[in-house]
Amino acid sequence: MTNYFDMSGKVVLVTGGSRGIGYEFVKGFADQGADVVIASRKLDACETVAAEVREMGRRALPYACHMGKWDDLPGLVDAAYAEFGKVDVLINNAGMSPVAGASIDVTEDLFDKVIDVNFKGPFRLTALVGARMVQAGKGSIINVTSTGSIRPLPEFGPYAGAKGALNIVTRGQALEYGPAVRVNAIMAGPFWTDVSKAWREQLDKTSDSAVSRIGRPQEAVTTALYLASDFSSYTTGAVIELSGGIR
């Protein structure tokens, strides 16, 4: 039987890979045979996850990097290629969603931080890795956006705007780097992870989605595995809503 999710021999770079859905991506891809680069702001958190991956028999590179800082990103890419010689899959997962409140009260500093991490960083990292993937003749890039981008709440205005921009640039960069490289997005609703532990149980009981619950991490992982696999060769420029049919 064909294993459609086999990632043996592939190298996957996951930003925000030390917790939440990013952590689940790291473990899920390693379980399917991939070696991984784990990037986030805190090196010790990345190293902890890297140790788990090595116990699974896979190679791992932990790397501390602020995804919102333009000039920090080339170092991450250089380190990944120095360690593994390639990146087959890039998952732009890192993000931040602070409560912004009323638009009139949003400071320039908060606005810039939200835009930098949620939009500027993924745009720049895709440019850096995408160009190398084109030279290699193949690759898959997956952006993690949010249903907040199409169902925005007033208190999360800058976040919704940044994720909406990422939806759009996903399509643009798919055209730019195709046909060799595919660029897609997972537009995620709420998920049951360690990041959501303050509210996940209550929302899981009261969800008005079509499946009457919030998502489980494995449901995000299998979607990412599909987009990373060669069996999704006709899927690019897509923004896949993964929300259980949220209203």
Which residues are the active-site residues?
Answer: 159
CA–CA gap between residue 186 and residue 94 (Å, rounded) = 13
Q: Which residues pair with 144 in a beta bridge?
A: 186
How far apart CA 117 and CA 149 sit, in angstroms, is 15
- Calculate helix-pair angle for 20-31, 217-228, nearest 10 degrees: 60
Encoding tokens for residue 46?
Answer: 């990345």
- In 3D space, the residue among 169, 174, 178 whose CA is nearest the CA of residue 115 turns out to be 169
SS3 content of the chain, % helix, strand, coil (to 5): 50, 15, 35
Q: In what order do the strands lie in the sheet with 181-188?
A: 60-64, 35-40, 11-15, 89-92, 139-146, 181-188, 239-242
User: DSSP 3-state assignment of 143?
Assistant: strand
Among the listed residues 220, 228, 182, the one whose alpha carbon sits nearest the alpha carbon of residue 8: 228
Q: Which of 94, 91, 97 is nearest to 185 (CA)?
A: 91
Residue 74: CB atoms within 10 Å: 12
